[in-house]
Chains A and B, each alone.
Chain A
Amino acid sequence: MPDLNFDSLSYGLRQQDSVDWVPRDPDFAWVMWEIRAQSVQAAVERLGVHAAGASLVLRLRCHQERPQGPPLARVLDIPLSSWCGQRLVPLGIPGAEHLCSVGVRAMDDPGGFFVPLVHSAPLRAPRHSPGEGELEWEVIA
């Protein structure tokens, strides 16, 4: 995959952590993230005794209200091997709202000790098929 070295153009002198994403289709999104070393270090310090073996992860959450029954909710952690990168990630439920965070997760408790560093804007996954919205009409003047 081509990449460009922008060091000479002040690119990479990051002032803040960031995570951005765009839906590719109902099943995948393209995620781009940039995390500063000092942010990771601060997160590791917050983990305290749980810090040994902690790793950088991309945490995806999706949530969908349903007319009947409890809402659907899923969480998926994807290990990241780089503080700065981009990749396709699987989306949980087509049509559902998704959030993505990059943070540091303690190795010994995947469901608990997670220190988020940065959150994405919410993203609604495209649908494979029409939603269950009510039939509404607009009178055309």
Chain B
Amino acid sequence: MKLALHLTLHAHIPGLWRSQGPARSWLARTTKDVYLPLLRILDDLGGLLGGSGPAFTLALTPPLVAALEDDAHRDAIARELERSVEQRRASAQRLEGDPLHPTALFYLKRAQALHQDFTQRYRRDIMAALRHHARQGRISLIPSLASSAPLPMLATEALRRAELRATRRWAEQKLEVPWGPVWLPACAYSPELARELALEGVTSATLDAQSWRGASAAPVQGLLAPLRDQGVTFFARHPELCAPLRWAKEESSWQRDLGCAEALRDPDPWQHMEPGHEGLLCLRQGEDLAPIYRPARAAEQARRMAVAWLSEARALAHSTAQRLELETPSISVAWGAQLWGGAWFEGPIFLKEVLQLAAQSADVELRAFGASLDLWPRLQKAAPGAGSWHPGVFAAWLDPSAAWLQRHARRLEVQLVSAVRARADLARGAGRLGAPGQDRAAAGAILRLLQLQGEDLAVLRRQDGLVGGLAEDVEHLLRGAALEVEALQRGARADGASQVHVDLLPEYLAADILVGL
């Protein structure tokens, strides 16, 4: 018996649509902490990966890819890396003779290596390096839904299918990957979506285990095999094995004083560090509560955690597979990419160790999500239930503290679809296909509405106290969308989406939102 291990890193980009300053800072830090270490893993493991197909999957969003390919953002990344080197050099000089000096030197060398990787090894082009590894068959790149809007929150089939069509166009033309497997934001799903996914050519998606608990029939192979509905293959995200970050928080050097959410949105999380130690992750929660961060020991602990994690995956697969008489158990694990090296400093070490151990193992096979149907001669037909990776199905979006937006957003969506349909009828009557100015307005309104429904925004708006200005941002988006829908209804040529996700406009201009009507 061989365990098929599907690892997916989903790399969305919260906050990029907001003001350019924090967004650039966020991208720069994420590139430094996550994407450069990830590329190093791929470089180091090289030929060990990809023997029987891509070893893992990276789900990318259009805004992230556009930012990584944008010169202004690349300049910001380079500046952040230079700043990091200078800051750590100053710390190392100041701490000469201090017990923290070896740690300071570790950070200095690491910062210098990252700067060199970005400017020289990868020539400032993260996407080119990722595409290279994809061409070498080491990873599989798949699209995440274009705007990160959770599909079950959208009111109309027209807009849901427009989102899928826009994502498809982007995936085929800009990400340059074949259309089929997609990443659904927050694994948010409801059973009605299977038909729409199938109609738009989606072949596979990962859902949360919640969807298995609410399936139309009992999944007789548990979480260890996909379900099929309407010709789409659905993989279950295994809840227990998605938890190494919890272990890290408890046992390793999680940036516990910052908190994951804080680290993701704070323009400069280092400012929270102890005075005099800025720029150093020097406090560590270990078995002996050692006050000084010791990189070598922390790295060794991350490797031990990787061994333990893989052993747990094996044990879980073997015991369940024997009970269910499964020949090829499959485990799907999906993690937020930005947590690996961002929130959990040693995350890349853990990930590299897991990949290396699995690639060298005779009883584990690394598989790309969506590319493993050959493993099963048959799959159970059942409709997965509603679910998301947030507790309580859709409670993250529909808690009263967050759901107030739905009435406005869904109403505007219905009005928008109606206005676009009326415009199309008028255009047909006049013997022309459409007015470019109004198409742009429609695309702008769609984008703004989808931004309103974006998963991070939905979760963050429950915590307005933590996010300065977020309520104003939401109101700004909502008013902008209302103005654009009103302009459409009046037949005005509004210049929509001038500031919001401009890179996505061509995709939405091309997506015929009337297709679902």
Contact = CB atoms under 8 A, between A and B. Distances in A.
Contacts of A140: 373-374, 376-379
Interface of B: 152-153, 155, 190-192, 212-220, 228, 373-374, 376-383, 385-387, 392-395, 398-401, 403-404, 406-408, 410-411, 414, 471, 475, 478-479, 482-483, 486, 489
Given A9-B482, A131-B217, A2 B410 contact: no
Contacts of A95: 214
B406 A138 contact: no
A24 interface: yes
A133 interface: yes
Nearest to A124: B191
A99 interface: no
Interface string A2-14: 1110100111000
A101 B220 CA distance: 38
A136 B471 contact: no
Given A6-B482, A25-B393, A137-B381, A86 B403 contact: yes
Contact of A126 (B218, B378, B386, B399): B386
Contacts of A129: 213-214
A132 interface: yes
B486 A9 contact: yes
A137 B486 contact: no
A94 to B, nearest CB: 8
B404 A3 contact: yes
Given A138-B378, A140-B376, A24 B406 contact: no
Contact of B379 (A3, A22, A86, A137): A137
Contacts of B228: 138
Contacts of B374: 140
Contact of A23 (B190, B216, B404): B190
Nearest to A1: B404
The winner among A6, A25, A135 for most chain B CB atoms within 10 A is A25
A45 B272 CA distance: 66
Contacts of A25: 392-395
B218 A23 contact: no
Given A4-B478, A26-B214, A133-B217, A88 B400 contact: yes
A51 interface: no
A24 B395 contact: yes
A37 interface: no
Nearest to A84: B407
B195 to A, nearest CB: 14
A119 B219 CA distance: 34
A109 interface: no
B406 A127 contact: no
Contacts of A34: 411
B78 to A, nearest CB: 40
A24 B394 contact: yes
21 contacts: A4-B408, A9-B479, A9-B486, A10-B482, A10-B486, A20-B410, A24-B395, A30-B398, A32-B406, A95-B214, A126-B214, A126-B387, A126-B393, A128-B214, A130-B213, A131-B216, A133-B383, A137-B378, A138-B228, A138-B380, A140-B378
B373 A136 contact: no
B404 to A, nearest CB: 5
